Amino acid sequence: MSIRVRLKDVAEKAGVAVNTASTILNKRPNSWASKETEARVFAVAAELGYRPNKTARALRSGRFHTIGLIIQDVTNPFFCTIADELEAAVEERGYDLLVESCRSSLPREKHLLAELDDLEVDGTVFWLSNNETYRSDLTAMYEKKMPVVALGNGVPDQALPTDAVFSDFTQGLKDAVNDLVARGHKRFAFLSAHAEGTYDGSRSLLFQQMLAASGIPASSVHLLQTGHRIDQAFVTFQQFLASCGENRPTAVVAMNDIAAVACMRAAVEAGLSIPCDLSIVGVDDIPLCAYLPTTLSSIRQRYRKITQEAADLLIRRIEHPDAEDLAQPRQVIFPTIYTPRESVGFV
């Protein structure tokens, strides 16, 4: 176990007072030290491997220089991508990222929100199971001037009472439906994958409406529900295919890419060929989609733009809480993009 290097150790080796070393290392503007002294202190700190104590630094400056991220499921590569992109975005601005996973558990999600003050972060980005469920909590946070940004699938009918970044699935889903219908598909399935008690958004309703507009009756659309895990999606779709007989769909849209991958495996085990017998489209467009043996068509959430915007919104509210342009909550919406690949074909 390594011994933590103290500020006192850096000061002694650099030949300066502790207060001087602290002023230099924290880059405070009231430093009177020469450039040579500053360079020597930084060199000694690097040599000794000195790392400032965040709690002590927060007591002095009022900031932890850390952003919190609460996500739904760390086993879903989409949320791993969100975390990775957000970490890169906040690091550019001098912040670290602390990630907490709800593990698709409503009790844990509520616990994390209730204990938010104990996370020792300057602000938090949320990807909640359902923003509407926590509207009153988000209102209270905004009124207390807590820096938070909500992320989510779909655009709420009423703007949230806090800064927010959303994905609008209208265009991406419309393009996917139009592509599948143009390829001759007339029987469809939509697989919603989410944890029990959580909200699956408006995507299934949008899907039905868009198919109806293309002349596909509701009787030709199967709406399936499954759990958030890939094994649950696999079993659900496997059982569905076994029950269909000759009336099985020729195209399926899954609510996320993990569920779509499960559908691909279940189809193969049922003796179906992708895309000759069954076309499959996922949602999120995680990097894995482009590297599967049969590449997966998907509706992309623009995760890099989402995380960059979330970082910008949050850090501006942290560093400039009284700015005039922050008098009202801000909402940013990014359209989704349909990316067809090998998993879709003609009937």
- Residue 175 is predicted with a pLDDT of 97
pLDDT higher than threshold 50 for residue 143: yes
Distance CA(210)–CA(280), nearest Å, equals: 17
Distance CA(156)–CA(280), nearest Å, equals: 27
Distance CA(324)–CA(305), nearest Å, equals: 24
Distance CA(316)–CA(322), nearest Å, equals: 10
Domain segments of the chain as ranges: 7-52, 66-168+303-337, 170-300
Same fold, 7-52 and 66-168+303-337: no
pLDDT digits (tens, 9 = 90+) for 225-282: 999 999 999 999 999 999 998 889 999 999 999 999 999 999 999 999 999 999 999 9
What's the whole-number mean pLDDT along residues 160-171?
Answer: 95
Question: Among residues 176, 191, 133, which one has the least CA distance to residue 337?
Answer: 176
Question: Among residues 175, 195, 139, 164, which one has the least CA distance to residue 313?
Answer: 164
CATH match for 170-300 among 3.40.50.1970, 3.40.50.2300, 3.30.460.10, 2.60.120.10: 3.40.50.2300
What DSSP designation does 240 have? H
Write the CA distances from 287 to 79, 257, 301, 316, integer angstroms.
12, 10, 11, 30
pLDDT digits (tens, 9 = 90+) for 1-57: 457 788 889 999 999 988 888 888 877 766 788 989 999 999 999 999 887 766 556
* Structural domain 66-168+303-337, CATH architecture: 3-Layer(aba) Sandwich (3.40)
Q: Provide the mean pLDDT of the chain.
A: 91
pLDDT digits (tens, 9 = 90+) for 87-115: 999 999 889 999 999 998 989 999 999 99
Q: 8-12, 84-88, 214-218, 282-286: which range is least confident on average? A: 8-12
pLDDT higher than threshold 50 for residue 150: yes
CATH class assigned to 7-52: mainly alpha
pTM: predicted TM-score of the whole model, two decimal places: 0.84
